[in-house]
């Protein structure tokens, strides 16, 4: 009796160790996934930081160019006049003088709508006319079983 209890205890201990090992492997896998996610987040943050620094540099360069452009003084009167013309609002442009009155769009020729029947509708129509399943299958170029199924489904509805 004692041997059986020892054997049973030994088996329970082995099963317990196997379960503990499996839980440890799952936990290690989870830690690995967490480390990968942290690394990806760090990479994304670094990329965004570099991008922001580049944007700041581009903005500074742009502001400097705009300031240089605004600080340039025209050297002679002609350049001065051109400079002033550039800054005038755009109201001097000529509008076309040959404008035509609004004319409504001519109506489009009416076209009859073409209605295509579905397979189910065609089968039901032929069935209502009194055709047999075989005749309907031949006319529709469908299988007999398919026609029977369509009719059965429509009878249930």
Same domain, 71 and 131: no
Average pLDDT, stretch 91-112? 63
Residue 117's nearest CA partner among 125, 129, 127, 109 is 125
Same domain, 28 and 73: yes
Q: What is the pLDDT of residues 57-84, one digit of tens each?
A: 999 999 999 998 888 755 545 555 555 5
In a domain, 106, yes or no: no
Termini Cα distance of the chain? 70
pTM: 0.35
**Same-domain pairing of 80 and 147:** no
* Highest averaged pLDDT of the listed ranges 16-25, 67-76, 123-132: 16-25
Domain identity same for 75 and 21: yes
* Domain boundaries, position 24: 9-88
If you search the block for the tokens 């020729």, which residue do you land on? 109
Instruction: Report the candidate in 66, 132, 90 with the shortest Cα–Cα distance to residue 147.
Output: 132
- Domain total of the chain: 2
79 and 149 part of one domain: no
- Is residue 98, in this structure, part of any structural domain at all? no
Q: Are residues 69 and 140 in the same domain?
A: no
Name which residue leads in pLDDT, 37 or 111: 37
151 touches 127 (CB < 8 A)? yes
Are 82 and 126 within one domain? no
Query: Per the domain annotation, does 153 fall within a domain?
Result: yes
């Amino acid at each position: 009796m004692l041997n059986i209890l020892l054997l049973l205890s030994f088996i329970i201990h082995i099963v317990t160790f196997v379960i503990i090992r499996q839980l440890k492997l799952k936990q290690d896998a989870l830690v690995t996934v967490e480390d990968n996610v942290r690394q990806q987040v760090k990479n994304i943050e670094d990329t965004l930081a570099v991008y922001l620094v580049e944007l700041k540099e581009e903005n500074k360069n742009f502001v400097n160019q705009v300031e240089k452009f605004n600080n340039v003084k025209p050297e002679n009167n002609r350049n001065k006049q051109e400079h002033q013309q550039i800054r005038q609002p755009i109201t001097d442009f000529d509008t076309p003088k040959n404008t035509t009155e609004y004319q409504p769009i001519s109506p489009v020729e009416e076209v009859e709508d073409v209605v295509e029947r579905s397979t189910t509708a065609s089968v039901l129509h032929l069935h209502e006319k009194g055709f047999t399943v075989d005749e309907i299958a031949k006319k529709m170029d469908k299988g007999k079983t398919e026609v029977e199924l369509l009719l059965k489904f429509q009878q249930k509805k």
